[in-house]
Amino acid sequence: MNVRNAVSNGNAPTVISTFAGCGGSSLGYKLAGFRELLAVEWDDNAVETFKLNFPEVPVYHGDITKLTGSECMRLAGIGPGELDVFDGSPPCQGFSTAGKRKFDDPRNSLFREYARLLKELQPRVFVMENVTGMIKGHMKQAYLTIIAELRACGYRAKGEVLNAMYYNVPQSRERVIIIGVRNDLGIEPSHPKPQTRPIPVRTAMVPCVDIPSWQMDVANNTKNYAVGKELLKLKEGENLYNLSRLDRNKPCPTICKRGGNHVRCLSHWTECRVMTPAELSRLASFPDEFLWIKKGRHDSDAFENVWARIGNCVPPNLMRAIATHIKENILTHA
C-alpha cells in the first residue's frame, strides 16, 4: 500500500501520536484506517522524515513539556473526551537492558508528560509502548508506578509483552504495550493475539535494492564501522561482543539505535558489511516507498540518522495490528 495514498476518511477513528519519531506508529494507525490529528516530536531529523511521509498531519515540533493540553486540543481541533486514541512511546533508554537501568534516570520521567496530557485530553483509549526492561528486576517498580499513574488518570489499564515477529514484522522485538480504556466506557482493555509465524530475513530481503553509495563496506573500516577483522571471524548467526552476523533463516534481532558498547551492530549474513538503510527499513516492516532523509555532512551521518529513526520506532505492522484490534474490539463497543 502506498504510504501517501492511504488517507483515512473523515469518519475514521482519530489518534494523536506523542513521541512520534519518524512515524512508525503513525503509519500503523494509518494502515489500520485511523485519521491522525496531531503528531508531537522534538528531534529535527525525525520531524523532517515524518513530514515527508505524512504531509497531511499537523506536527508540534518542540518540547512536550511545553505543550499544554489546551494547545494540544486546539492544534488537533478537538475538545476533551472527543479523541479516540492517544498514543505515545516515551523515551525508554533509562529502562533499557542495553543501558545502566537506573530508576531515577531523567529520561524515565517523560511518561509523566504523557500522563499529564492524557488526563487533560481524556481520550477513549490510550496506547503506551516501552521496552521490556521496565518490567525486569528492580525496574519493575517503575512499571508499577507508571500503571498506577495511568489508572489515576481515569482508565482501566493493562500491559502485555508483544513480540513484533508475530505481527508480520521480520524482526524479533519485544515491547511492553500498555492499553487503557476510559473508566466510563465499562470495557476491559485487551491486546491482539499473535497473527503470523516469524518471518526469516531471507524472505524479507527478496528483492531489496539500495542506493550503492549507502553500501557500508565493513571490511574497509569505513569511519565508525571499523569491525571488518572481527566480522571475518563470524559465521552466519554468530555474535561477538556488539557485532552480529544475521541468520538468513531467522528474524532479525532487535534493531537498536546505534551508539555505545551494548548496542548490536547488524551485519549481512554473507557479505562483509553492515545492513543498509533499505534493508533495515524492510526488517522494521516499512514499505519500500517510505522516504528517509538521505543527506548529511557525510554519507555515514545520513546512515546514522536512518538507523536511529528505525532503532527508535515502533514497527508499523506491529502498531497496525494493535490499532486494528482497538478499532474492532474496543472502539466499536464504546
Which residues are the active-site residues? 92
Grid coordinates given for 301: 551521518
**DSSP-based three-state secondary structure for 223:** coil
Task: Please name the amino acid found at residue 298.
Answer: H
CB burial readout 272-293, b (16+ within 10 A) else e: bbbbbbbbbbbbbbbbeebebb
Q: What is the largest CA-CA distance in the chain?
A: 61
* 156 closest CA partner among 182, 192, 121, 123: 182
Grid coordinates given for 298: 557525510
Cα separation of 303 and 167, whole Å? 27
Grid coordinates given for 258: 546505534
Q: Provide the edge-to-edge strand list for the sheet that holds 243-245.
A: 239-240, 243-245, 265-267
**Which residues fall within 8 angstroms of residue 74, CB to CB, at 6 or more apart?**
none
For the chain, the first-to-last Cα distance in angstroms comes to 29
Grid coordinates given for 271: 557479505
